[in-house]
Amino acid sequence: MQRSGQDEPVLSEEEQAIAEVLGDNPRAQELKAMRIALEQRRDGMRREQQRATEKAEQTRLQAKINELDKQIDALRQEEGITQFVESSVRVTLHQSAGDEFDEY
């Protein structure tokens, strides 16, 4: 990404259109990073659960793992929807650009 003299990113037409459509919502890549971080955290809790010797601790960790699973599923769904939206914007822009050439 290029930067202007004001140290602000210069976005391509495609990136500007996607940012406009998504508004304040995170991009698919950001959602993926959040999901991966939660998956790593969950995997760590699973290892901790396996090492736990007390039933109460195992149960507590399982409850946290279950909650992380729900959050991971929600992020995965949101990531898929956002990828679809981003792809739709790209396709629309490219079709519009192709239509302009067809007029000549």
Residue 100 lies inside a defined structural domain of this protein: no
Tell me the average pLDDT across 82-89.
Answer: 94
76: containing domain = 2-81
Residue 96 lies inside a defined structural domain of this protein: no
Residue 98 lies inside a defined structural domain of this protein: no
In the chain, the number of structural domains is 1
Amino acid at 99: D
Q: Confirm if 76 and 35 have CB atoms less than 8 A apart.
A: yes
Residue 101 lies inside a defined structural domain of this protein: no
pLDDT of 70 over the 70 cut: yes
pLDDT band of residue 2 (cuts 50, 70, 90) is: very low
Residue 102 lies inside a defined structural domain of this protein: no
Q: Confirm if 86 and 27 have CB atoms less than 8 A apart.
A: yes
CA–CA gap between residue 76 and residue 92 (Å, rounded): 24
Residue 86 lies inside a defined structural domain of this protein: no
Residue 104 lies inside a defined structural domain of this protein: no
pLDDT of 93 over the 90 cut: no
Residue 75 lies inside a defined structural domain of this protein: yes
